[in-house]
Amino acid sequence: DFHLALSCGSTPEPLYRRLMYDPNFRDLPWKRVQLWIVDERCVPLDDPHSNFKMIRETIVDHSDIPREQVHPILATQAGADLAYERQLQETLAWREKGHDRLDYVLLGMGADGHTASLFPGSPALAESDRLVVSNSGPTVTPPDRITMTYRLLNASRFIAVMVTGQSKRATIARVARPGGNPADLPILGIRPAGGELRWYLDGEACP
């Protein structure tokens, strides 16, 4: 089995579509994938802002992934963060000892340096115990979110950070400058403990 956690936003959508229509990638073994959502906006699952709605419409509806292996965050329910944390713990506990972690996480980055729903200066940045928490971002719509924490993300086997477009260029320059602080640029807190981190940038974001 392969535990995959996906972010949303506008950047990865073309990638997700391509995974489905490009014959080179169509044979990804979705039957073996456990699909998780990195962060969710606190809206119903059929709301246009729902991250899961995008994942469902681009991937779930067009692959043979078994429905019980798809894990939406029910972000409008009370205790959604705790429920998702429990679901992750219970599912990952089925794995061999030492492998109870996510295999592949795809992250994006906002122009303010946030990743997942870990926003500059927000309390979730200091969370060292929990795997999933609720958080809020003053610059995003809608502000209320449920998000995976550094603890869970940094335990992953592989983290891909995908950033494209000119609107992210100044932030990428700040991230590349030595001495940056995760409290200001939360993406800098992504440092896998025993895994690999790889950036995927285009020329517009990083000429």
Whether the link from the prior residue into 142 is cis, omega within 30° of 0, is: yes
CB of 96 to ligand 6PG, least distance (A): 29
Q: How far is the CB of 51 from ligand 6PG (least distance, A)?
A: 5
Beta strands in the chain (DSSP E): 2-6, 33-37, 39-41, 70-71, 104-107, 132-136, 144-148, 158-163, 196-201
Query: At its nearest, how many Å lie between ligand 6PG and the CB of residue 98?
Result: 28
Structure tokens that stand for 58 in this block:
């681009």
Which among 152, 148, 65 is positioned nearest to 100, based on CA atoms?
152
Q: Which two tokens stand for residue 33?
A: 């994938």
Nearer to ligand 6PG, 34 or 115 (CB): 115
Residue number with CB closer to ligand 6PG (15 or 95)? 15
Q: Which residues bind ligand 6PG (CB under 6 A)?
A: 7-11, 38-39, 41, 51, 108-110, 115-116
Nearer to ligand 6PG among residue 1 and residue 9 (C-beta): 9
Residue 9 or 189: the one with the smaller Cβ distance to ligand 6PG is: 9
Q: For residue 171, which of 201, 126, 140, 136 has the smallest C-alpha distance?
A: 201
Q: How far is the CB of 145 from ligand 6PG (least distance, A)?
A: 7
